[in-house]
Amino acid sequence: MRVPAERIQAESNEKPRRRARTMAAVAAAFTAGAIAGPVVTAWAQEGSRAETYRLLNLFGDVFERVRAEYVEPVNDREVIENAINGMLQGLDPHSSYMNLRNFRDMQVQTRGEFGGLGIEVSQEAGYVKVISPIDDTPAARAGVKPGDLITHINEKTTQGLTLQEAVDQMRGERGSSIRLTIRREGTATPVELTLTRDVIRPQVVRARLEAGDIAYVRLTSFNEQTEVGLRRALQTLRSQAGSGGLKGVVLDLRNNPGGLLDQAIQVSDDFLDQGEIVSTRARRPEDAQRWNAKSGDITSGLPVVVLVNAGSASASEIVAGALQDHRRAIVMGVKSFGKGSVQTVMPLPGNGAIRLTTARYYTPSGRSIQATGIQPDIEVLAQREDAQQNRERDREADLNRALRNDSTGTGATGVNARPPAPLPPLNLPQGAVSAVQRMPPEGAPAFDPTKPETDHQLQQAIGLLHSIAGAPPQRRASR
């Protein structure tokens, strides 16, 4: 097909004008952002200001060509938001853009109520990866497991979707159905699940007495209700323990994906009388922060075992790391997830917010959690198969573009970093550690969350607490 010369000339004249209008809009947007957001002292990290404007001109040129030449008309807001999200997601797995609706959803979720399936997710190899299903939600009841890859939603592939787009598709009105196709390690064929959406009001604190004198408290996430729920649970269990009182506490953080930093600090403070809880170190030394414990231990010094696994992330690792470093608790289980980065939510007036990684977490001894996680004091496997697999999985270090660990004083944190201090040895009764069984015995029943006696890690924690307290073991048989 021949294109008239007049049209070619008209287009060649119009394109610079469109590009100029686009660049004016982009410049205005950047100016507005500089006014509305924090002052940026080093606007261009590399290269000259001229190079920065050249790159912005490249962005404007691409944007204008998409608007003018794409096979179907495009929505300007969607294109710009996708570009922003791509810029942020290209940094690390946890930075992202939230439009106004998603920002409101996030605010609702941190208050402890949201709609959907009840799955904490990340993204891997273009698919949605389950970090952990939340207890008593449609996902948990349907049998969704940590490590599952969600490849299709309602028979449409999740490849090419951003994590937020996939989450949006899984959310919906209560009572509506959704079909997930899951690829699960060890399963030859895809797993097909049909779930009914519900209003998710996760019970973030679950508690019961074990063996008549051990307080078992499970925290499923860290939202605004967590620390208050922990205090109430321990108070209730103390009253149920009878004249003998409590002999110890099991704090179960397995498959707890984290949440609010202030709640992690408060939960740690509940067990500590003094000392540092956690610190953060950012790009600029002056932005470093540190939180210290106030006097008052709500357990009155009872021995504590913290259970962790590969699904224990972020706020869970802050708590486990603080109690481990102060030797206030014994950490048991397997190595945690390793998410040691801080995301700051920055509202954009009228346009949602960005979630930007701004710092790293450090335990009181100076250890960075990032990409390494919390190594348990005593390794105990949930199943014998875990030992046979003998490889790392489902952790931060496996994610694309994950930040490196920086506990050695080199790299992005610069002068803020310091070598971690060595931890003091565990002070336990002779033979207490050797009595802990690393894995279930041959022929032990498979783990059933409704039957605590099948939870090998929990039973070993109970036995260790009884050993520390000098009480005769009353734990259930593990087989």
- What is the DSSP track for 245-267? ---EEEEE-TT---B-HHHHHHH
> Rounded to 5 degrees, what angle do the CA atoms 245, 253, 387 make?
110
Beta carbons within 8 Å of 220's beta carbon, 6+ residues apart: 134, 135, 202, 203, 204, 205, 206, 255, 256
In whole angstroms, what is the distance from residue 310 CA to residue 74 CA?
Answer: 42
* CA 288 to chain CA centroid, nearest Å: 21
Q: 446: which 2 tokens?
A: 């498979």
> Which positions are annotated as active-site residues?
314, 325, 339
Q: How far apart are CA 18 and CA 36, in angstroms?
A: 27
> How far is the C-alpha of 340 from the C-alpha of 362, rounded, in Å?
8
Per-residue tokens: 396: 């931060």
Nearest to 381 by CA among 476, 430, 447, 319: 447
456/442 Cα distance (integer angstroms): 12
